[in-house]
Structure 1
Amino acid sequence: MKVTPRASKDSIGPGDADRLAVRLRAPPVDGAANAALIEFLARHFDLPRRGVSILSGENARLKRVRLSGDPAHLASLLETL
């Protein structure tokens, strides 16, 4: 997943090379963008915040995240992107 902080609005969509592109309004300061990413993904995929975790890339734009939930539901939401 490629995260772009300081965007004009929060959004998610297809990116390049089988990655999702996430744009967040939060600045990349003191973990604000990571916290906003977790909150945004939890809302978008209808998960509790504890169901979203950043596996790698906490200090980079390219991140690996884990979504814990019903695989069929998550797959159907991903297909709509």
Structure 2
Amino acid sequence: MRVTIRVRPGASRTAVGGTYGDALVVAVQERAVDGAATTAALDAVAAALGIRKREVTLLTGTTSRTKTVEVPDAAASRLAELMREAH
């Protein structure tokens, strides 16, 4: 399943939840330098969904705050919960 995420680099803590438009918000402590925030965001999504890091694939948005990722369909219910949360 494809999911749009919105990365907030430089946050005080890493958190996944809430929405920005129709995108899942992923706040990470890492700065947007040399892909550190992107890597941290993908890791955070995997942890929040309870799946392996290798099951989260970046499809678009390598240098953008808005990214599209591919996750297993089995994570759909957990994804819906995260999008309802507000951080």
TM range (shorter): 0.7 to 0.9
> Using the alignment, how far apart are the partners of 1:17 and 1:35 within structure 2?
22
Contact 2:57 2:69 in 1 (8 A): yes
Q: Kindly, what percent of the aligned residue pairs are identical?
A: 33
Please list every run of at least 4 consecutive aligned residues from structure 1 whose deviation after the TM superposition is greater than 6 angstroms.
Answer: none
Question: Alignment partner for residue 59 of structure 1, among 60, 63, 67?
Answer: 63
Q: Following TM superposition, by how much is the alpha carbon of 1:78 offset from its aligned partner in structure 2, in angstroms?
A: 1.6
Could you tell me which runs of 5 or more consecutive residues in structure 1 were left unpaired when the two chains were aligned.
Answer: none
Q: Normalising by structure 2, what TM-score?
A: 0.80
Q: What is the deviation of 1:14?
A: 2.1
Out of 31, 42, 48, the position equivalent to 2:46 is: 42
Query: Which has the bigger relative contact order, CA under 8 A and spacing at least 6?
Result: 2
8 Å CA contact retained: 2:19, 2:25:
yes
CA distance in 1, matches of 2:16, 2:70: 16
Q: Deviation per CA, 1:20-69, whole angstroms, max 9, x where unpaired?
A: 1111101111111111112111111111111011110010101101113x
- If each structure's strand is expressed as a fraction of its own residues, which one has the higher value? 2
Matched letter for residue 8 of structure 2: T
What's the counterpart of residue 7 of structure 1? 11
Output the aligned Cα RMSD. 1.3
The TM-score, its normalising length taken from structure 1, stands at 0.85
Aligned match of 2:34 in 14, 30, 35?
A: 30
Structure 2 residues without counterparts, runs of 5 or longer:
83-87
